[in-house]
Structure 1
């Protein structure tokens, strides 16, 4: 199995910064099942790491185009049952949860584009830094499915109800770096190619602080801000399973693959 994830530790002040780079070697950097599992294991590998206090997550040419619809990123509902789909759809939420629950402060360095599952992962991190020529998009509704991975409550915390609805419902809308900053979906905009350098600079500031109260503060903020997230998202997997059994989902995926506008019928 090909490896898509590289981990470098011992960087920055006193070696307290680590970099996780997800790069499939193309301009798309889509999340197939293997890559999703590997990124989950990467996050979990820091569970007992007391030397690292900051983890930067970066992509290749782009952060990620989201789920790999062309290369096995999602099973066809026609060839599997509901129980199998529900098991399949747990893979993504596990990834987002693993990064959200890390003790270390996490920073996403976003270049190119950050789409669908890519932004679901990014909002599970503590900070997001984006290049000026990059953009964000949430295409799931345009494919006939719901946005899952506990993304909606996390986006709600960051940008509020109206912007969350705008980002998710208007699935074709590209959110520019400037708009993402204005909406408070990201914390900083850099020159093209500069997101990683800026992430390292922020990481150095965090790493210079005492690690124990930093980790405690992060956990406290996350628990308070996300106290109702599990309750709000407990139906995510079932909603995704249900929408994947609709005609609109089949039409949405077919239109994506055929590069045409979908014709939804509400069934």
Structure 2
């Protein structure tokens, strides 16, 4: 099994910065189930790491992530799973985003190229996001006959409020530019093209110079207050996704996507 995630530690002030790179080597960086497992394992590998204060998560030069891999054989096998197996398999996504959100270290995403669907879900689970000026975000789940899950809606609400969250999620075909994302509060910093990682590292250095214990405690306090009701608000994410995946509209959307044609939805 190829390694999709590499980790380098001991960087920056006092060696307190780590870099996690997600790169499938294809310029697309889609989230196959195996890629999701590896990214989850990467986040959990920092659980007992008292030497690292901040983790920068980067994709490759062309993409942060294209989102869930609709062409992956394991992912496509969901179509034939019974409801119990499907519910268990659908927990991969929320497990991934929760692992990154709950890290004690401060996390910073460096976004180049595009960040789509599950890639956005992963990005909003981080503490900060730095985005290249020529990059874009898109949330196509509704356009594919699904719901935006992985507990992403509450996280997006915290960042940019209800109207912008509806705009980002419901208008599935619309790209969100770096400038828009910054204006909406979805990303904290815009960098020059090709400069997202360097800008993320500069931010990481500022964090790394702060007292590590105070930083970790502050992050925990802010997260616990901000996300106190998230589990309650999104506990049906998996079941909504499972239900939506059984609809004719979802099947039509996936067939249209793979066939590169416009989908026709009928509300059933």
2:35 is the alignment partner of 1:30: no
1:55 deviation in Å? 0.1
- Residue by residue over 1:73-99, the C-alpha shift from the partner in whole angstroms, topping out at 9 and shown as x without a partner, is 633454111001101100010000000
Q: What TM-score do you get using the length of structure 1 for normalisation?
A: 0.99
1:183 CA displacement: 0.4
Indicate conservation of the 8 Å contact 1:37/1:95, yes or no. Answer: yes
Distance, in Å, in 2 between the alignment partners of 1:72 and 1:44 is 26
- 1:225 equivalent in structure 2: 226
**3-state SS of 1:74 partner:** helix
C-alpha distance in 2, partners of 1:85/1:123?
25
Moved over 6 A (4+): none
Question: Is 1:11 aligned to 2:7, yes or no?
Answer: no
| Equivalent residue, structure 2, for 1:176 | 177
Q: Which residue of 1 aligns with 2:59?
A: 59
Quick check: 66-75 or 45-54, which moved more?
Answer: 66-75
Measure the CA separation in 2 of the matches of 1:63 and 1:241. Answer: 26
Change beyond 3 A, Cα 1:150–1:18: same
Cα RMSD of the aligned pairs, angstroms, is 0.8
Residue 77 and residue 245 in structure 1: after superposition, are their counterparts in 2 closer, same or farther (change >3 A)?
A: farther
Give the alignment of 1:136-215 within 5 angstroms. 136-215=137-216
Alignment of 1:49-88 (within 5 A): 49-60=49-60, 61-72=62-73, 74-88=75-89
Are the structure 2 counterparts of residues 73 and 130 from structure 1 closer, same or farther at C-alpha, using a change threshold of 3 Å?
A: farther
Q: For 1:67 and 1:108, locate their aligned partners in 2 and report how far apart those are by CA, in whole Å.
A: 18
Unaligned runs of 5+ in 1: none
Report what 1:119 is aligned to: 120
The question of 1:94 aligning with 2:99 is answered no
Structure 1: how far apart are the matches of 2:184 and 2:155?
A: 14
* Contact preservation (8 Å) 1:75, 1:85: no
Separation in structure 1 between the aligned mates of residue 74 and residue 159 of structure 2, nearest angstrom: 27
Give per-residue Cα distances to partners, 1:182-205, cap 9 Å, x unaligned.
001000001000000000000000
Give the secondary structure class of the aligned counterpart of 2:76: coil
Distance in 1 between the 2:43 and 2:23 partners? Answer: 16
The count of residues paired between Structure 1 and Structure 2 equals: 267
Secondary structure, aligned partner of 1:2? coil
The range that moved more, 72-81 or 246-255, is: 72-81
Question: In 2 relative to 1, CA 179–59 (structure 1 residues): closer, same or farther, beyond 3 Å?
Answer: same
Cα distance in 2 for residues equivalent to 1:75 and 1:259 = 17
TM-score by length of 2: 0.98
Contact 1:146–1:240 (CA under 8 A) maintained in structure 2:
yes
Query: Post-superposition shift, 1:70?
Result: 1.2
Which whole-Å CA distance do the structure 2 matches of 1:199 and 1:91 have between them?
Answer: 27
